[in-house]
């Protein structure tokens, strides 16, 4: 079993991992930049090491500094959380070379799924439905014919992309090459790789993803789906489980498909298979080889600690449950609370003067901030997640409404009021929204 874990992250996910370790008797090491010296995970960890200045490239992305922190603290494992180095295959390989456990999948799987073209080909071969598109990277010479075959509109997507960067829609043949050039430039700037592929653009899809977990003993399970269709600029704002529009038989069908695929790959650890869902059909878009920000909604409806299972699997132990042991119960919704102006979405770093999270039955707040804490301007603006659970979706929404009213964060601007507004909209309450709904709604405000 892992004895001492270094948490190569910050914020709420670092605290989430620390808590799981404490409950399993695993000592923790927090690493931090100089800007995070007063962060909650640093204050609570058994040991802490400063690894550099505020700039993430010199601290949280600084592999030599993290490796040195492992060596001076005798940490035998690293959990990368999400973001930063969580999907860096080279980082996983370096840790392995130093006999340090990487709490995540094999480096090859990170590399395969990080390449959107390779991931699509692997999934298609494993029997997973994919979005119609090019078989590989396209050039300016072959793109027009491929796009014509797919049918307009088409989506130009970066092979190394993520978070909506390097992704543009070409509505017609006349705009294809210009759109492709714009997407290439964005991809080159963001990822250092301008390889592009084409996909059929779906007009009104839902974003539905399936959580999977696998061990080294042949155990592979799925833990249901999450509906992440409320998005702004391809960034998720609110997630729920189960999806309010997915029939039970399709839930079981897609779960069986992805577990079979994961078994075929020999995958290890936690992963998320993301789909677009339209007209009753699933279309694979990508796989995230890490823990997701929205993993708590799955934990709420299954009563399974995903981080605990990650640590077990990384230690060489089997999953503590089989597929038949998973009992889905009720409904859960997560709101991402960001330090942003709720109308302009401009970042709002600064000192929190008052912080009062909601509580009560079925209410969970994952956050690492506290009254008196100063949010630095250098990192992601998410300061917490409010997750609520109810016996059904209606009870869940009622509990969420009450919890948002109780949530107090003073001294900075937050998106709490945005969530209060969103959950009152008839389309949300009926569950009839797609991935474009939120941006259309915001544009009309």
User: Which residues are marked as active site?
Assistant: 290
Closest by CA to 415, choosing from 391, 397, 376, 442, is: 442
What one-character-per-residue DSSP string does 254-276 give? Answer: HHHHHHHHHHHHT--EEEEEEEE
What one-character-per-residue DSSP string does 378-438 give? Answer: TS-SEEEEEEEEESSHHHHHHHHHHHHHH-EEESS--SHHHHHHHTTSHHHHHT---TTHH
Closest by CA to 201, choosing from 227, 243, 169, is: 169
SS3 content of the chain, % helix, strand, coil (to 5): 35, 30, 35
Helix (H, G, I), strand (E, B) or coil at 374: strand
Alpha helices in 88-152 (DSSP H): 89-97, 107-114, 116-125, 143-150
As a whole number of angstroms, the distance between CA 163 and CA 346 comes to 18
**CA dist list (Å): 202 to 153, 199, 237, 257, 276:** 8, 9, 20, 22, 8
């Amino acid at each position: 079993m892992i004895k001492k874990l270094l948490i190569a992250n910050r914020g709420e996910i670092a605290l989430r991992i620390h808590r799981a370790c404490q409950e399993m008797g695993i000592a923790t090491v927090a690493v931090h930049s100089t800007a995070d010296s007063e962060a909650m995970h640093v204050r609570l960890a058994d040991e802490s090491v400063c690894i550099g200045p505020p700039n993430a490239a010199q601290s949280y992305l600084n592999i030599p500094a993290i490796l040195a922190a492992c060596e001076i603290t005798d940490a035998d494992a690293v959990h990368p959380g999400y973001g930063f180095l969580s999907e860096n295959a080279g980082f996983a390989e370096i840790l392995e070379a130093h006999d340090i456990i990487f709490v995540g999948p094999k480096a090859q799987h990170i590399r395969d799924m990080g390449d959107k073209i390779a991931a699509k080909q692997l999934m298609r071969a494993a029997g997973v439905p994919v979005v119609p598109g090019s078989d590989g990277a396209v050039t300016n010479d072959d793109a027009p014919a491929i796009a014509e075959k797919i049918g307009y509109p088409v989506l130009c997507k970066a092979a190394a992309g993520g978070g909506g960067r390097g992704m543009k829609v070409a509505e017609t043949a006349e705009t294809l090459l210009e759109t492709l050039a714009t997407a290439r430039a964005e991809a080159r700037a963001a990822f250092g790789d301008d390889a592009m592929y084409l996909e059929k653009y779906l007009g009104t899809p839902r974003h539905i993803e399936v959580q999977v977990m696998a061990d080294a003993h042949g155990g592979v399970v799925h833990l249901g789906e999450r509906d992440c269709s409320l998005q702004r600029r391809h960034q998720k704002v609110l997630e729920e489980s189960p999806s309010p529009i997915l029939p039970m038989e399709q839930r079981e069908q897609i779960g069986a498909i992805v577990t079979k695929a994961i078994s075929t790959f020999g995958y290890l650890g936690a992963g998320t298979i993301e789909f677009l869902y339209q007209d009753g059909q699933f279309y694979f878009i990508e796989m995230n080889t890490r823990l997701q920000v929205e993993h708590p909604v799955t934990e709420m409806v299954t009563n399974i600690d995903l981080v605990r299972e990650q640590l077990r699997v990384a230690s060489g132990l089997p999953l503590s449950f089989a597929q038949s042991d998973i009992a889905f119960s009720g409904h859960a919704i997560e709101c991402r609370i960001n330090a942003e102006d709720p109308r302009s979405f401009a970042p709002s770093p600064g000192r929190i003067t008052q912080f009062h999270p909601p509580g009560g039955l079925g209410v969970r707040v994952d956050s690492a901030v506290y009254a008196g804490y100063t949010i630095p301007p250098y990192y992601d603006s998410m300061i917490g997640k409010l997750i609520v659970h109810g016996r059904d979706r209606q009870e869940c929404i009622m509990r969420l409404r009450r919890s948002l009213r109780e949530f107090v964060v003073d001294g900075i601007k937050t998106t709490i009021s945005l969530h209060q507004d969103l959950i009152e909209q008839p389309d949300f309450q009926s569950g009839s929204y797609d991935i474009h709904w939120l941006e259309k709604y915001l544009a009309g405000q």
